[in-house]
Structure formats: C-alpha cells, structure tokens
Structure 1
Amino acid sequence: MGWVSVGLTVVLVLASLGAYAYYRRIEGGIDRETINVGASRPPETGALNVLLVGSDSREGDNKKYGAKSQGLGERTDTIMLLHISPNRDKATMISFPRDSMVVIPTCEGRNGTVLVGGLRQINSAFNDGGINCTIKTLESLTNIKINHFVKVDFTGFKGIIDAIGGIEICLPKPVNDPKAKLVLGAGKHVVKGEQALGYVRTRYALGDGSDLSRIQRQQIFLTKVMQKVTDGGLLTDPGKLNDFLLAATQAVTLDDKLSLDRMLEIARSVSGMTTKELKGITVPTQPYPADKNRVQFSEPAAKQFFESVRNDIEVTATPAPGRSAAPKIENSQVRVQVLNGTTEGGKAALVASELAAQGFVVTQVGTAPAAAATSIRYAKKDAAQGPAYGDAVAARLSKDKRTPVVGKVKPVNSQPYESKVTTVPDGPIVQLVIGADWPGVRVVSAIPDSLKDKVVDSTTNPCV
C-alpha cells in the first residue's frame, strides 16, 4: 500500500500555500487522533520523524474491498518512517517490511484491553493496537522519536491520484491479480483510481512475490507522486489544486499536534528540498528461520542502520536478504564452470556461450547428475569470496538462483571451454548447475558506457 507516502506531500502542500483562511477551512475537515504512548520515549534530536501507514479500513466507501478483518476496523500492509534531518536538507523514507518478526512491547488494544508484548509480525502492532501501538513498537525498535503520523485509506488514495492526473508506470509483463483488482498488459500505462490502488497493493503478480519487492515498487511510485505534485503544475492551477486538497483531506488522518501552524513550520523548513533529496531505504533484513514467508532484522546491520539515522550519518541501500555486502564483482573477474543437469543435449555449451558473451570467463563445460533446481555453487574453501562471485552470475539469470556454500558437484564428461580470454583471473571458481527449472540468461543490449546510467535493463523494464 504505497499510497501512504502521499500523505506527507498532502500535508506540506496544504501548509505551504498562501490563502490561509481557505486552507484553514480545508484543514478543519481532516480527521485526527492523539498520540498517547507514555512518557518513556526516545530523546529529541532536532530531526523530524513522521510515521506513514496505509489503512485498509472497510468503513464507508471502503466496504467494497471486503469485510472487516477479525472484527477489527483496519489493518496495514505498509509502514514507513520519513526522517527529515535537523538541517532539513535531506530526507530518508525508511520502509519496514510487514512480514518482519519483531518484539512488540505491551500496548493497549483497540478495544481497551492490554496486549501482552512478545515476538510477532510487525504489522500486528497496528492491526491489534492501532497507531499508538505502532508508534510505541517502532520507537522501541529504533530508538527514534516519532513526532507525527499520517494515515491514508483506500478510497482517499484513489482520489489523490485521480486529482493529479494519474501516474505513469511500466509493467514488465501482463498482470492479472483479482485480489488487487489489477488487470493490465505489459508496457506503459497511466494508472488512476482502482488501477493505481491495485498497482501499489499487488504483491505476488509482480517482482519475486516478496514484500521487499513490493516496497521497492512503492518507493518508486512515491517519488513519482511527489514529483508530479511539486513539478507538474498542480500548485499553479486553482481548479486542480482545489480537487487535490479536497481529496487529500478526505484521505488522511493526522495526529492532533500536526496543526496548520505546525504544517507551515515544516513546509518552510524544507522549502529548498527537492525530490532528489528523498532517499528510500528498507530496513536490513534476513530470512526468518522458523518461517520462510517471514523476515527478521539483520543484526548488527539493523542496529547500525538506526544509529546512522539517529545521528544523521549518510545511509545507503542495504543488501537484499541473503546477499553479500561485498564490493560488486565485475563479470570479467568471474571464472565459471557450466554443467548441464537436464536431459537437453548441448545445454551447457549454449549457456556457456551466452555467459561468455557477457564477459564471464567460462573455464569448463560438462554434465552433472540430474538436478530439478538450478543452483550456483562454490567450494567450502571459498566461503569468504564465493557468495559475491556467485551473486555476479545470479544477477544475470532471468530468475535469481543460489544455494548455500556446498562442496562442488562432480562433473561428468567435462571438458575445457575454449574461451577467447587470454588472461584468466584469480578468485574462486563458480559452478553453475543447470536444472530442470532453468530460468535462462538475461539478454543485455550493447550500450555505450556514456549511456549506461540512463538505461534500465530491458529484461526488467520493457518500456525503455
């Protein structure tokens, strides 16, 4: 539910314009809740931290999305924290995957009962305890004080996107997701209303089906929304601006301290900031051992990440779960053995030629025992470097494949591969075992170095 992020844009636009009396009236139509999480809270640092959540409330016009969940009024699929530095010169949008298993503190439940703390999925804090339990949970996990919150629901989000004329997206493949109510062909689309909502809600129909993949898509969508609001002529068109603000006030719920005066203060303090200063980052996570469908914070990386945010040290994107944080390995540094674990003759030689064309140094081709799953392997002695070199090969497959560190598969009928490379690099040898689920090698067009930073891989974006 990436639409929650438009909430702050709404607040700042509402506050930064000159017709004070009009916007005072507009602001009066916003629903509000009080932040009440007790006296024991992290210290103020001068930074501004705004919690953004997307509500799937089934009240009012949202009833068509289904019945209430377990008798509760709303749940959230998206939790984001916008951190604006004390100098108001940079902003970081931190996404918390909804599937994260964390320790939730004791909170007051929505029905007034006590929710006993414990290890649970992070979005249950909102589902069971509402916005205050969510704030209390995030403050306990990050030691970052949350100053304000913005909550946006289904219908309100659609109205906001309609008011700005929609957002252009690109689908790498056709999508048919009945749950998200999204049916679109591959290619470019300008999505509004139900389609825009479906695009940010869909999970399994795009990417790898993970919440982390959906978060990346939502962060890009957010950036486009902010760009369109600030650079698309909305602020100079009274009619469009009025429609936008009317939709916005119906979409958001704010804390009672986020008054118009406070909005004006924030808007003025960030007036020189552009969307280029907004960085979207996901909390470092790794697979949760007890459930493959869940993740947990990766330590000590997550602790260091939150400390950097608190101290306003530049933070960078974190590796995906299971990925090495080592420096990027170039294709030309990687020696690869390609082994055919399928019944299709000549498969190893074909794949070897495709990898060699992309700069890999193929040293050997051959066959291996029958394999149902494609895998990337390296010797136990190469445990330190193997993952980074294996990642370089995995990145060029149409679907990422890798296995834990294991001993090498014994090749059958293997032979040297006649590589055109005269200087063979050092480093571990990576073994690619082609399984029955072989995903294929991504095709890369020949692109001049001067243009590479302007081009998106056409295998993941057909709209280039």
Structure 2
Amino acid sequence: MKKVVKILAVIFLGIILSVGIGAYIFYKNIHVPAVQEENPIASLNNPEKKEEDLSSKNVLVVGSDENNLSDTLFIANYNPKNKTISILSIPRDTYYPRPGYNSPGDKKINAAFTEDGIEGTKKAVENLLGINIDHYIIIDYEGFKKVIDTIGGVEVDIPFDMKYDDNSANPPLHINLKKGRQVLDGEKAIQFVRYRHGYIDGDLGRIKAQHQFLEALFKKLTQPSTLPKLPSLAIAVSKHIKTDLTATEIAKYAYQFVKDKPSSIKSFTLPGEPDYKDGVSYFFADNTKIPEVVAEFLGDKTTFSFDPSEIEKNKAIKVEVLNGTNIPGLASKCAETLRKQGFDVVRIGNVVGTTFSTSHVYARTDEEKAKKVANALSIICVEKDITPDSSVDVTVILGKDKSK
C-alpha cells in the first residue's frame, strides 16, 4: 500500500519562513499563485510592515505521491501572537462519507484528495473540525528526503526493530531499521515515518512516533549550524511542494518566525478510535471530544466555534435530535455536542418504525441554520423540508454512521 510522509511538512513551512533570503529563493522556484505582489525582501526591510497582518493561520498539509494518492492529513497552526506552533493530525482512515461516493474506500477522508483535489480536502477537514482552513501545502516525499539530507540527518530513538518489504508499492517500500538512538538520513527517515506495523495502537502509534520525529527535526532546524544551509534547503523544497501561500506572506512570517524562535511544537491527534464497519477498517472520530481538542490546538478557551459571537448566534437556532437507530443514548450524546456549541436543543427523541444507516439534517425554517448544525456534527446530508409553522429550525435524524 502506498504511503506518504506524515506530520512533517509543517517544518518545511518553518524552513521557508526562517530567513528572508530563503523565502525569496523559494518564491522564484515554488508553485505559488500568479498574483501581483510586493517584493518579499523589500517587505522584510520595511520596519513599518514587519508586524502587518500577522494573524494566526491554519495551514492544511497534504502528503501526495507521484500518483496523486494521499494518506497524509494534518493542520499546522503558527500563532505569532502567542509564539506557538501546533499540529493536529487526522488519521488517513477517518470515516467521512460523501454524497455520491459509496465504495468502502471512498468513505475514508484521504479519498477526498484523490477524487476532489485540494478544495475537496479543505472542505472535508473544515466540516470535520469546524474551523476555517486559510492555506494549504501539498508535498511529496522526495522533497522530505532532500530536506533531511541537506541538514545532515535527524537523531531519533527507534523503539523497536523495523523490517518490512512491499514490492507492489510505487515506489517499492523496503524498511530495515534497528532499535536504538541513531541519526537518520533522508532515506532512513522515510522508512521510519512510513512504518506502521508493530505499534500496539496501530496507526495512532505511528502518529506518535512521527510526532517524536517532528520534535527532533524542529530542534535540528533551530540550531545555529543549520542556518547557513537554509537557502539551499529552500531551493530543494520548492521543487517538491505546492502551496497557495504567496511570497509576501512567506516573507512576513519569515521575519516573525526568526524573531520569536518558538521553542516547541504542540502535537494533537483527532480524538476517536479504530473499528470496523461492513468489514472495513475505519477510524471513527469522537464528535463530542473534537471541540475541546480543536480549542486546545488553537490555544483558545472557547468551544467549537472559537468565537463567542458565533456561540451567541447559535442560541437562536432551535434543534430537535432524533435517534434513527436502535443504539441507546445516541441522540443524547449528539445533543450534548450541539449544546456545547450554543445550539438550543429543544427536543431529544427516537424515530419509530424505521432505522437509518446515514444521518440527515433537515432545514425546517432556514437552510443556512441547518448547514451550521450539520457542520457541528460532521453530517454530510442536508435537505430542505421547510415548514412555516415548525416549532424547530432544524431536525437531526441520526443514522448508524454516528454509532462510532
């Protein structure tokens, strides 16, 4: 099975943001939007613009191979105000059904990139987490290997012997690493982050190992001895990633990144657990825990919407939640998720006489209100059922897809 590098591309952004010269070289080579903008180096040299528009941004990072396949999804957040870097990993097998896609593989979130491109992936992640994605980065693992080799390798502690061969992969995958602390070059680093067998908790164990690698890589990149290598590093990376970040944005964050020198990276993983559905292995996200994890990831004390004014607006939306399965407590669980986000849940009940395999949200008074509720619960199906004398704005019918 084809794999791509996980959790690491955020550091590429950090590299690019590290020095103005590196950013300028990057600008000359990377695939960026063709827009008219100011010279990025001039932006750095203008004191009045150094602090301009440096707000916290959510950057979606997607790992992709030469066949446009991806199992890498995470969000990186660099907050210049708080001087923090955070990453939130989304397991590749996360259950995320989309209308019109009915095969088992299509119901995994990583399929959104292959079939719907970066825009489809952004939409899926925004719906899942309830946050806005400001920018994206798409990277292949050849670029990753070049970065590791350029900085002279990264030291990590390999928890156990790792050996695996897959000649059917494209390119073929051969992993042979020994237990213990050692410096990994680009090729061995690829093996380490791609290895997924032997972890007690499966893919979550691999994500934890990659977080460890990321911390080690970050420390290496912030060492003074690495700084002279950054321009050549920017050139190497630029040929292997695509992004909608402009050169001016890169340069502005470059200045702030060097100035702040963030000392650590906070790592988070989408809450949930692996399980099977119709004989297929998935990772089922826990929607009741997502708001808390995302809030911590963003360094925000508010709940799901991260905007007190949005929570206040949600109080005006009346919702009824109905259990369309035979699973006890499902409606109450989802109702609590909605209440945490401010929605006025006026009724919890059961659908009598039939069961639903897929969850639905019905707009009784206003479609936009229904979409907000659907996003809060990561439900794809939104339908109009406008009833002028309805006592609720939105009706939610929970299907078996919400049983995990």
TM-score (norm 1): 0.53
For the residues of structure 1 that align with 2:284 and 2:54, how far apart are their CA atoms? 27
Amino acid at match of 1:53: V
- Rg larger for: 1
> What's the secondary structure of 2:107's corresponding residue?
strand
Structure 2 residue corresponding to 1:263, chosen from 220, 244, 250? 250
Structure 1 residue corresponding to 2:154, chosen from 123, 148, 167? 167
Q: Residue 4 of structure 1 contacts residue 152 of structure 1 at CA under 8 Å; is this kept in 2?
A: no
**Partner of 1:187 in structure 2?**
180
Q: Residue 115 of structure 1 contacts residue 129 of structure 1 at CA under 8 Å; is this kept in 2?
A: no
Structure 2 residue corresponding to 1:302, chosen from 290, 303, 307? 290
**Partner of 1:336 in structure 2?**
none
**CA pair 280-15 structure 1, distance change in 2 beyond 3 A:** closer
Instruction: Tell me which of the two structures has the higher relative contact order, counting C-alpha pairs closer than 8 angstroms and 6 or more residues apart.
Output: 2
For the residues of structure 1 that align with 2:251 and 2:26, how far apart are their CA atoms? 14
If each structure's helix is expressed as a fraction of its own residues, which one has the higher value? 2
How far residue 281 of structure 1 moved from its aligned partner, in angstroms, is 0.6
For the residues of structure 1 that align with 2:252 and 2:156, how far apart are their CA atoms? 33
How far residue 307 of structure 1 moved from its aligned partner, in angstroms, is 4.7
Post-superposition Cα deviations, 1:332-361, rounded to whole Å, max 9, x if no partner, equal xxxxxxxxxxxxxxxxxxxxxxxxxxxxxx
How far residue 5 of structure 1 moved from its aligned partner, in angstroms, is 4.3
Q: Residue 155 of structure 1 contacts residue 251 of structure 1 at CA under 8 Å; is this kept in 2?
A: yes
For the residues of structure 2 that align with 1:184 and 1:310, how far apart are their CA atoms? 35
Structure 1 residue corresponding to 2:65, chosen from 43, 53, 56? 56
Q: Residue 85 of structure 1 contacts residue 312 of structure 1 at CA under 8 Å; is this kept in 2?
A: no
Amino acid at match of 1:268: Y
**Partner of 2:15 in structure 1?**
13
Amino acid at match of 1:243: S
Amino acid at match of 2:10: L
> What's the secondary structure of 1:182's corresponding residue?
strand
Q: Residue 33 of structure 1 contacts residue 253 of structure 1 at CA under 8 Å; is this kept in 2?
A: no
**CA pair 216-314 structure 1, distance change in 2 beyond 3 A:** farther
For the residues of structure 2 that align with 1:183 and 1:306, how far apart are their CA atoms? 36
Amino acid at match of 2:205: S
**Partner of 1:230 in structure 2?**
222
1:73-152 alignment, distance < 5 Å: 73-85=67-79, 87-104=81-98, 120-152=107-139
**Partner of 1:219 in structure 2?**
211
Find out whether 1:27 has 2:27 as its counterpart. yes
How far residue 202 of structure 1 moved from its aligned partner, in angstroms, is 1.1
**CA pair 24-13 structure 1, distance change in 2 beyond 3 A:** same
Number of matched residues? Answer: 275
How far residue 275 of structure 1 moved from its aligned partner, in angstroms, is 4.9
How far residue 146 of structure 1 moved from its aligned partner, in angstroms, is 0.9
**CA pair 134-312 structure 1, distance change in 2 beyond 3 A:** same
For the residues of structure 2 that align with 1:266 and 1:199, how far apart are their CA atoms? 30
Q: Percent identity?
A: 26
**CA pair 247-45 structure 1, distance change in 2 beyond 3 A:** closer
**CA pair 286-189 structure 1, distance change in 2 beyond 3 A:** same
Show structure 2 runs of 5+ residues with no match. Answer: 35-52, 167-172, 304-404
Post-superposition Cα deviations, 1:173-195, rounded to whole Å, max 9, x if no partner, equal 32211133111222222211221
Q: Residue 182 of structure 1 contacts residue 198 of structure 1 at CA under 8 Å; is this kept in 2?
A: yes
For the residues of structure 2 that align with 1:28 and 1:135, how far apart are their CA atoms? 26
How far residue 141 of structure 1 moved from its aligned partner, in angstroms, is 1.5
How far residue 24 of structure 1 moved from its aligned partner, in angstroms, is 2.6
Q: Residue 88 of structure 1 contacts residue 273 of structure 1 at CA under 8 Å; is this kept in 2?
A: no
**CA pair 33-153 structure 1, distance change in 2 beyond 3 A:** farther
Post-superposition Cα deviations, 1:182-220, rounded to whole Å, max 9, x if no partner, equal 11222222211221111111111x422611111111111
**CA pair 188-127 structure 1, distance change in 2 beyond 3 A:** same
How far residue 221 of structure 1 moved from its aligned partner, in angstroms, is 1.0
Q: Residue 2 of structure 1 contacts residue 215 of structure 1 at CA under 8 Å; is this kept in 2?
A: no
Q: Residue 78 of structure 1 contacts residue 98 of structure 1 at CA under 8 Å; is this kept in 2?
A: yes
Amino acid at match of 2:63: G
1:322-361 alignment, distance < 5 Å: none
TM-score (norm 2): 0.60
Structure 2 residue corresponding to 1:178, chosen from 165, 168, 187? 165
For the residues of structure 2 that align with 1:151 and 1:308, how far apart are their CA atoms? 25
**Partner of 1:249 in structure 2?**
238
1:274-293 alignment, distance < 5 Å: 274-290=261-277, 291=279, 293=281
> What's the secondary structure of 1:299's corresponding residue?
coil
Q: Residue 2 of structure 1 contacts residue 78 of structure 1 at CA under 8 Å; is this kept in 2?
A: yes
Q: Residue 46 of structure 1 contacts residue 86 of structure 1 at CA under 8 Å; is this kept in 2?
A: yes
Post-superposition Cα deviations, 1:274-331, rounded to whole Å, max 9, x if no partner, equal 454420010111233525732211131123333555671399xxxxxxxxxxxxxxxx
For the residues of structure 1 that align with 2:218 and 2:112, how far apart are their CA atoms? 28
